[in-house]
Structure 1
Amino acid sequence: MASLERELGENYAVLYPQMPGENDPSYAAWRAALIREFDLLEDGAILVGHSIGGTILLHVLAEQPPKLKLGGLFIIAAPFIGEGGWPSDDIDDLKDFSERLPPGIPVNLYHGADDDVVPTAHVHLYAKAIPHAVVRTVEHRDHQFNNDMRDVARDIRSVD
């Protein structure tokens, strides 16, 4: 997230809440933490999630959308849970993301073409589940996007 903060510059406040048990994510624990964090945000907040954090963020937003009006959702290198993606014992397979996400929220999905952790096919599964999403597969980027978030920052700045 340091790269994103650097690329966005001082006009943006980047909050990076620590999730409980980050080395062994629990959907229930992260869900509760995210819902508490949503209550601290203001209308227009832009949410960014990476990897399993992005997966959990999408599922929480689909199950219990926050009361505030979100400015955008940016998901990077997230594994898809369900048919064609990865199995999970504690995250349900949602096929109707498009109907369940907060209405009107712009969704941007990113995946590095050189990601050796989560196959690129996962972003295409999300694209089917969220047809209005903008999908970007970025060449020469790994799972961590080579710590280069300029593409994501550019798109976040375009939301304003």
Structure 2
Amino acid sequence: MKKQVLFIQGGGDNGYEADAPLADSLQAALGKDYELSYPQLQSDKSAPDFGWPRQIGEKINEFKEDLILVAHSVGASLLLKYLSETKITKNINGIFLIATPWWSGDKDWVQGLKLQEDVGNKLPEHIPIFLYHSMDDEVVPFDHLAIYARKLPQAAIHAIKNGGHQFNNDLQFLAEEIQKLKDLN
């Protein structure tokens, strides 16, 4: 049976289209033993979190088998929001977050995106978490990775020398990390 990977897109008006090459790159690098799902999330502008955590939960619950979660940018932070605010019953083998923004400030639009200050204590303890951020990310400041290193001490933190926000649309390095996961069915 193929190992299941759910890839959550980044945000923006064309986030799904912009991240499609990332999803394609990851599927190609993972090979035939993995099946990657890349659903398009819809933004509900009336919801403070754009309705993404609810949709992410629905997508996770569609899977019958063990699952590997991968998320980019806004999708990564909102995946963390969902996982830290919801009781998880699904067997998740790993969480891979790339170019994850840490939301802060007093602007109204950002309030629904913020994670709880103790987010690291609210995540399932048994699931390995990996964060990746390019030093030359032009969208999400690189120093957000240091914030996550403090907030998620259980996570493996990886600074990537270059690749920008889209990692040059090449997730070979991520596929290699996913393939190292043990105890997958």
TM-score, scaled to structure 2: 0.78
For 2:103, what is the secondary structure of its paired residue? coil
Task: Give the stretch that moved more between structures: 47-56 or 92-101.
Answer: 92-101
CA spacing shift, 1:148–1:31, aligned 2, 3 Å? same
Does 2:94 correspond to 1:79?
no
Task: Give the secondary-structure state (helix, strand or coil) at the position aligned to 1:61.
Answer: helix
d(CA) in 2 for partners of 1:123, 1:13: 28
User: Matched residues in 2 for 1:21 and 1:28: separation?
Assistant: 5
Aligned partners of 1:72 and 1:107 also within 8 Å: yes
1:36 maps to which residue?
58
- Identify the residue that residue 9 of structure 1 maps to in structure 2: 31
Q: Does 1:54 align with 2:79?
A: no
Q: Residues of 2 paired with 1:57 and 1:14: CA distance?
A: 17
Aligned partner of residue 88 in structure 1, secondary structure: helix
Find 2:167's aligned residue among 134, 145, 154: 145
Structure 1 residues 148 and 27, CA gap change in structure 2 (3 angstroms): same
For the pair 1:68 / 2:64, whether they are aligned, the reply is no
Identical aligned residues as a percent: 32
Q: Once the 2 structures are TM-superposed, how far is the Cα of residue 89 of structure 1 from its aligned partner?
A: 2.6
Instruction: Tell me the CA shift for residue 28 of structure 1.
Output: 4.5
TM-score (norm 1): 0.89
SS at match of 1:159: coil
Q: Is the 8 A contact 2:102 2:114 kept in 1?
A: no
Task: Report the AA paired with residue 61 of structure 1.
Answer: L
Q: Which runs of 5+ in 2 are unaligned?
A: 1-22
Other-structure match for 2:110? 88
Partner of 2:145: 123
Distance 1:26 1:15, change over 3 A: farther
For 2:172 and 2:44, the matched residues in 1 are separated by 25
Say if 1:92 and 1:21 are closer, same or farther in 2 by CA, change over 3 A.
closer
| Coordinate RMSD, CA, aligned | 2.0
Amino acid in structure 1 at the alignment position of 2:122:
R
* Structure 2 partner of 1:21: 43
